[in-house]
Amino acid sequence: MSLHRVYHRFSCSPPYSLTLLSHKLSPFSLPLHPPALLKLPLRPPSRPMRFHSVSASSRLPKLAPLASLSEKVVGDSNGSSTSEIEDTEGNGYCLPPKEIRDIVDAPPLPVLSFSPQRDKILFLKRRSLPPLSDLAKPEEKLAGIRIDGNCNARSRMSFYTGIGIHCLMDDGTLGPEKEVHGFPDGSKINFVSWSRDGHHLSFSIRGDEDDESNSKMKLWVADVETGNARPLFQSPDLYLNAIFDNFVWVDDSTLLVCTIPATRGAPPKKPLVPSGPKIQSNEEQSVIQVRTFQDLLKDEYDADLFDYYCTSQLVLVSLDGKMKPIGPPAVYTSMDPSPDRKYFMITSIHRPYSFIVPCGRFPKKVDLWTCNGKFVRELCDLPLAEDIPIAFNSVRKGKRSINWRADKPSTLYWAETQDGGDAKVEVSPRDIIYTEPAEIVNGEQPEVLHVLDLRYGGISWCDDSLALVYESWYKTRRTKTWVIAPGNKEITPRILFDRSSEDAYSDPGSPMMRRTDNGTYVIAKIKKEDEGTFLLLNGSGATPEGNVPFLDLFDINTGNKERIWESDKEKYFETVVALMSDNGEGELPIDQLKVLTSKESKTENTQYYIQSWPDKKAVQITNFPHPYPQLAALQKEMIKYQRKDGVQLTATLYLPPSYDPSKDGPLPCLVWSYPGEFKSKEAAGQVRGSPNEFAGIGPTSALLWLARGFAILSGPTIPIIGEGDEEANDRYVEQLVASAEAAVEEVIRRGVADSNKIAVGGHSYGAFMTANLLAHAPHLFCCGIARSGAYNRTLTPFGFQNEDRTLWEATGTYVEMSPFMSANKIKKPILLIHGEEDNNSGTLTMQSDRFFNALKGHGALCRLVILPFESHGYSARESIMHVLWETDRWLQQYCVNNLEKSVSLDPTNDEAPKETKDAALSASGGGPNRGLEQDGSHLTPRSLL
């Protein structure tokens, strides 16, 4: 699962960005993402990366009173809400205290997008939290995706409410806003994209979803100079099909569009009486192991419904409205024009479908067409891939990762596995990279570009003399970067970097990319006075004192580096977001270098600057207001401490702004975290993140309870380490408890946390952690909050999280790790919250249902809250406010008002672990930790919003 931070960040296009469903990322889109997550890595991940949202800091002018009353939400017909006072056991949606509610309801900052020429910026306006009525709309759950049949798009899409255009003036400031106009009031805007010349915008519009014909998406274009917008299709009955890819600019005046076929009729009707039983068979005795996917096809009716909604007709349409249908209707999933815009690579999926894997594994066909829709040839037709092994680095058989070379007009490249896709097979080479021109003239065979012993992870192209090839292997965390000369076979490939992907301190950074005249991105070569080939390496700069981002001038031939920019590490956290002087061909003179940077501090939210060489003058181009000015100066410290086995741990400690431990005494404390797996103690102990980062508070962030007088220990490191041949999870409980003990002991030693009033919480795998801690470390915490977790690992028998052994291969590990199996040991109050429509692999809602019944069957103090219509993350305002109310009520009753004397923190109690006794003694002025100083290092919080 991946959730983004809720305050404004820039990002850039591929290769800098991650796609958001709510908008179309043009090469210059700058949506909400931390820059650190967006840079093209020198070691692309060997499996889909999981990003966890970052909780953040706050400030209060004074501590708010700990109210005992709550408010009940009363929804009106428009989905808005009012409130009334209610007793704590009432039914209905409730509101948290006002000091929390005001932070969550703060208006969102816009998403920004630069034009291709970097001379204009879009401000894409957003609304606040959506009403529950948005989630309550009917949706179809088919083949791993959820579809809104009314608008023929993915359900639950966010959207923009308006588009503002600003010119970037010569002095670096922004000109006045020009509003894009012409579309109906209340329109929902998605998939905003620039034309290559920057003169036009394309985007989709949908209106009132109660009107079936008006709710479907229509394609609009806007003139950037005037701001005037208009529908692109002359026919009012032509609509976008936005289930998969929806439209792409072919050239400056033409788009290729996925439309709903004009001949499509009504959706298929579910038969009242089935034609027969549902049958699945494995009479061939194939070994097929799959994780716990959800929303899969259930029968032939579902398959017909999938075809109905996902089938598109491709149409070429020009800005004057002229259109030309091309190709037959099919389930098209992507349309990728060649850099010279002469060809399209068209990907589609087809039957036979599967009832056990999502559509990403359905049979896939990749064809080559000319830009006017003429079929050229078939690149591949891959069969159904139900049998991909669950081991990490296992892949699909056949051609994969087919792409256009960014530095050539129309040259293709791809990888093919040599191990049958099975990571457990030992073979050399493991992957081969091939390349060939779009059109084969004399029957030439594909050319071998490079061979790899690890798993292929991508290529950064520059020109015929330079490209960087990445490979990695998850089991060993090894990652390599190769330097190759694609146009010269006489030059032997060589390894540029060979390192552990876990070793943040040795990360050399990522090459910065420039935009070509064709709109693609290639490695930027920098020209200096002396000879040599220089690149720009943009790195996070992890150090034992925190991240200090940098920009290095790197000689690709000698490996010599010159640091030409570095973040101010004393007060600010700065990052290089994108290269601004990237338009054009050839080498970029160093004295013409221009980059976009971000700058923030503990109390100042992120602003953006353009920094130019040679004088390195920085001009501020944004002036965003503080998203919650009432929280502008909390206390934040990155702390470092040790686990009993010597592993270095880090966390971020947040305290209310006016709090003084010597005067105010210890506070109730909320610990919020998420475990992570490592292969070495050294890597687990490295510091990641910066003490100067601004804290963005998300709608369900643990930091909201700073407003209620809590100390918050955010993201304490919970490393689960499996060195050598050992698997990390074989000692999961032992390491989990040891990490939690160290964290609790540290906040007690500092005198900021009341030993009897420490709560623990987490989301998803953090909820799994929470339940395990209450079962195996009841001496540490007074209560817990577990959201959207999985608690019985026998329900995910073919792997979970980073565990790729099956239940039958590691039965003891699965059982021992499952808090469901230890429900009889949980004696502290636990609040379980889960979305009723959770679609995340493994965390089906049944996990919380069954865990609650197990707890109740042993007389545990527990509460289960199921949120209607919500998925793995919560989005509706009513749901989020109620989650906050439930959490606040739980913390007030079982943490703030906890009168139980904690056994764990009584140094005279013989049942308490020695480490806990030491911590308690230290908190009172004695014990082995007295006089120890902390050096303020930190791991970026991984708590889920």
DSSP 681-734: HHHHT--BS-TT---PPPTT-GGGGGGGT-EEEES---EEE--TT--GGGGHHH
- Report the sign of the C-alpha dihedral through residues 537, 192, 457, 724, in that order: positive
Q: Compute CA 206 distance to the chain's CA centroid, rounded to the nearest angstrom.
A: 26
Determine how β-strand 375-382 pairs with β-strand 399-404.
unpaired
Two tokens at 405?
């070379």
Residues 6+ apart with CB under 8 A from 664: none
Q: Which residues is 405 bridged to in the sheet? A: none
Q: Which residues is 635 bridged to in the sheet? A: 655
Scanning the structure block, which residue is given the tokens 């032992």? 734
Q: Which of 764, 818, 871, 943 is catalytic?
A: 764
- Report the sign of the C-alpha dihedral through residues 383, 44, 3, 775, in that order: positive
Two tokens at 266?
């009504």
Per-residue burial over 878-893, b if 16 or more Cβ lie within 10 Å, else e, is bbbbbbbbbbbbbbbe
Distance CA 400, CA 393 (A): 13
Q: Which residues is 618 bridged to in the sheet? A: 611
Scanning the structure block, which residue is given the tokens 């989650």? 883
Distance CA 584, CA 592 (A): 12
Distance CA 27, CA 195 (A): 10
Distance CA 51, CA 461 (A): 26
Residues 6+ apart with CB under 8 A from 273: none
Phi then psi dihedrals of residue 820, to 5 deg: -55, -40
Q: Which of 8, 872, 882, 938 is catalytic?
A: 872
From the list 889, 938, 905, 895, the residue with the least C-alpha distance to 70 is 889
From the list 935, 225, 217, the residue with the least C-alpha distance to 639 is 935
Per-residue burial over 647-668, b if 16 or more Cβ lie within 10 Å, else e, is bbbbbbbbbbbebeeeeeebbb
* 882 classed as catalytic: no
DSSP 178-199: EE-B-SPTT-EEEEEEE-TTSS
In single-letter form, the type of residue at position 59 comes to: R
From the list 643, 694, 685, the residue with the least C-alpha distance to 504 is 685
* 838 classed as catalytic: yes
* 764 classed as catalytic: yes
Whether the upstream peptide bond of residue 699 has omega within 30° of 0, thus cis, is no
Cβ contact 774:826 at 8 Å:
yes
Residues 6+ apart with CB under 8 A from 338: 344, 345, 404, 409, 410, 438
Q: What number of other Cβ atoms are within 10 A of residue 322's Cβ?
A: 10
In single-letter form, the type of residue at position 353 comes to: Y
Q: What number of other Cβ atoms are within 10 A of residue 394's Cβ?
A: 22
Residues 6+ apart with CB under 8 A from 98: none
Q: What single DSSP character describes residue 896?
A: I
Q: What number of other Cβ atoms are within 10 A of residue 429's Cβ?
A: 17
Distance CA 612, CA 620 (A): 12
Cβ contact 424:479 at 8 Å:
no
Q: Which of 838, 841, 848, 882 is catalytic?
A: 838
In single-letter form, the type of residue at position 284 comes to: E
Q: Compute CA 103 distance to the chain's CA centroid, rounded to the nearest angstrom.
A: 23
By annotation, the residues acting in catalysis are: 764, 838, 872
